Amino acid sequence: MIKNISISTFVNIIFALAFLSIFVTFTIFVNYDKQKHELTLQNRYELIAENILITFQNNPTVEILLSLYKKFQVSPIEDKDEKLEIIKNAQELTITQNYLGTYRVYKYNDIYYIYVQQYGYNVMLKDSANHRYNMAFIVLGFIVSILTFLILYEILMKKLKPLKMLNKQIIEFSQGNKDIKLNYTSTDEVGTIAKNFNEAINIINNQSKSKDLFMRNMMHELKTPITKAMFIAETLEDDKTRENLQRAFKRMDDIIKELATVEKLTSKNTMIYKEKTNFMNIYKKTLEIMMINPQNIEANIDNFNFEVDTYMMSIVLKNLIDNAIKFSSDKKAVINANKNFIEIISLGKPLKNDLSHYTEAFCQEEKRSEGFGLGLYIVKTIVNLHKYKLEHKYEDGRNYFIINMTK
């Protein structure tokens, strides 16, 4: 799963988890520090109460008590009404009773009070020291940590930004923009990738230009001799020889036409000219191009409207139907068509390889021997240009070539 996540998404996830970890850590620390603060106060008041109770046992003078109060930074509450108000309304934090006596700790209006009781004595002491829990330093530390965290995140995202741009430009190149150039001059790893990719683009473009020039020259040089040869073949008296030569020259002429179509489809200026039409118009044009007996085709067409390049889509149907009839055991083909798919069916043996093997332009010698040639490559290319999908399946002794038009 992690392998399928983009780098930027992965970084965002890591930083989000880090931010959450910081927040949780600070929350735990604050809770721990508060408990520690409360424990410190509890120990303080326990020490004060025990010292007061011990002093009470020795019948202390006022001077001794005042000295003790000063030592522990507490002051006695003399007013009885104030005492009652505190006891009645304050929050009682602890109550402790031992052999020396009893003491309670109250909290009232954010001030702590200690109420010490012993037989014959009782006193309520106000804690004069400031023991409020101060979160200022903790909050400051949290803010500094978050700011540092955000600065690091921004720096990292700026370093990743060129990588995103590089990926975007690579996608544009893969979609046919061969004139693209990656403008990134940094000497870091991304800069090295950009430099190497620019060099690869130049090599590919030079090879593409050489290939296009070669194909155009070859088609031009072969077209005229083949036309002349076909004309001469028609003058031969031997019927068998004439038919064999005409068939051979016709096949050569078909290959040149296929090469011309391939050259057009692979050109960087390739465009399809979509127009609103219906499938029956495409089908009729296909039959005109093929010049075959319609009785060899069983058509089950639920006519529908769509936007396609009429000429290109006619070539697709022509190649699929031509292959279906040529390689079927009964020399017939079935075409089913509706708004979701176009299906060409023929009786015969299954393909020896996956469909992708046959949609590459003459990559394997055995493909030519099977007779598919450039036909399926052209079909696949045109189908892709229309944002459709070419699929194949084999069921019940039949090959199904399907143009899936669902988005």
* Whether pLDDT at 350 is above 50: yes
Q: What is d(CA 111, CA 130) in angstroms, rounded to the nearest whole number?
A: 8
Answer yes or no: are the C-beta atoms of 377 and 255 closer than 8 Å.
no
Tens digit of each residue's pLDDT (9 = 90 or more) over 336-347: 999 999 999 999
The pLDDT value given to residue 46: 83
Tell me what the mean pLDDT of segment 257-286 comes to: 76
Give residue 50's pLDDT: 84
Q: For residue 16, is it within any domain?
A: yes
Q: Which of 68-82, 90-104, 130-144 has the lowest mean pLDDT?
A: 130-144
User: Does 186 fall in a domain?
Assistant: no
Q: Report the alpha-carbon distance of residue 29 to residue 24 in Å, rounded.
A: 9
C-alpha angle 177/180/183, rounded to 5°? 155
**174 part of a folded domain:** no
Q: Which residues contact 224 (CB under 8 A, 6 or more apart)?
A: none
Pairing of strands 333-337, 297-301: parallel
In a domain, 185, yes or no: no
The domain that holds 364 is classified in CATH as 3.30.565.10
Domain range for 18 is: 7-127
Structure tokens that stand for 293 in this block: 């007996």
Domain boundary among 127, 150, 184: 127
157 in a structural domain: no
**pLDDT reported for residue 16:** 83
Nearest to 359 by CA among 374, 343, 338: 374
Q: What is the mean pLDDT of residues 304-312?
A: 90
Query: What confidence score (pLDDT) does residue 399 get?
Result: 94
- The rounded Cα 163 to chain-centroid distance in angstroms is 15
Residue of 401 and 140 predicted with greater confidence: 401
* Least reliable range by pLDDT among 174-178, 203-207, 369-373, 386-390: 369-373
CA 287, 290, 294, 296 dihedral sign is: negative
* pLDDT higher than threshold 50 for residue 364: no
Most confident of 27-36, 157-166, 390-399: 390-399
Q: pLDDT by residue (tens digit) across 3-48?
A: 566 777 777 788 888 888 888 888 888 888 888 877 888 888 888 8
Number of domains in the chain: 2
CA distance 372 to 362: 9
Q: How confident is the model at residue 172 (pLDDT cuts 50, 70, 90)?
A: confident
What's the pLDDT at 365? 39
- Is residue 367 predicted with pLDDT exceeding 70? no
Whether the full predicted model's pTM is greater than 0.85, yes or no, is no
What does pLDDT average to over the chain? 80
Q: Is residue 100 part of a domain?
A: yes
Q: Do the domain assignments include residue 246?
A: no
**Residue 166: Cβ-neighbour burial (10 angstroms; 0-12, 13-18, 19+):** middle
Residue at token pair 């010490």: 116
Instruction: Tell which of 112, 127, 142 closes a domain.
Output: 127
Listed residues 127, 149, 164: the one ending a domain: 127
CA-CA distance, 381 to 393, in Å (whole number)?
19
Residue 143 domain-assigned (yes or no): no
What is the spatial distance between Cα 390 and Cα 367, in angstroms, rounded to a whole number? 18
225 vs 392: which has the higher pLDDT = 392
